[in-house]
Amino acid sequence: VDLPGFGRSRGFGALSLADMAEAVLQQAPDKAIWLGWSLGGLVASQIVLTHPERVQALVTVASSPCFSARDEWPGIKPDVLAGFQQQLSDDFQRTVERFLALQTMGTETARQDARALKKTVLALPMPEVDVLNGGLEILKTVDLRQPLQNVSMPFLRLYGYLDGLVPRKVVPMLDKLWPHSESYIFAKAAHAPFISHPVEFCHLLVALKQRV
Residue 93 has pLDDT above 80, yes or no: no
- What are the residues whose beta carbons fall under 8 Å from the beta carbon of 210, sequence distance 6 or more? none
- Annotate 69-133 with three-state secondary structure: CECCECCECHHHHHHHHHHHHHCHHHHHHHHHHHCCCCCCCHHHHHHHHHHHHHCCCCCCHHHHH
Segment 142-195, tens digit of pLDDT:
999 999 999 999 999 999 999 989 999 999 999 999 999 999 999 999 999 999
Q: What is the dihedral of CA 198, 199, 204, 207, to 10 degrees?
A: 140
Question: Is 90 marked active-site?
Answer: no
H helix count then E strand count, the chain: 9, 4
Going along the chain from its start, the domains and CATH numbers come out as: 17-210 (3.40.50.1820)
Whole-number Å distance between alpha carbons of 84 and 136: 8
Residue 202 has pLDDT above 90, yes or no: yes
Higher-pLDDT residue of 138 and 96 is: 138
Segment 33-78, tens digit of pLDDT:
999 999 999 999 999 999 999 999 999 999 999 999 999 999 999 8
Question: Is 163 marked active-site?
Answer: yes
The pLDDT value given to residue 63: 98
Contact 87, 131 (CB under 8 A): no
Minimum mean pLDDT among 14-23, 51-60, 80-89, 146-155: which range? 80-89
Question: Is 113 marked active-site?
Answer: no
Q: What is the mean pLDDT of the chain?
A: 92
Task: Indicate which residue of 45, 113, 191, 197 is catalytic.
Answer: 191
Task: Indicate which residue of 163, 181, 196, 197 is catalytic.
Answer: 163
Residue 92 has pLDDT above 80, yes or no: no
The pLDDT value given to residue 10: 83
Q: Is 55 left (phi over 0), alpha (psi -120 to 50) or beta?
A: beta
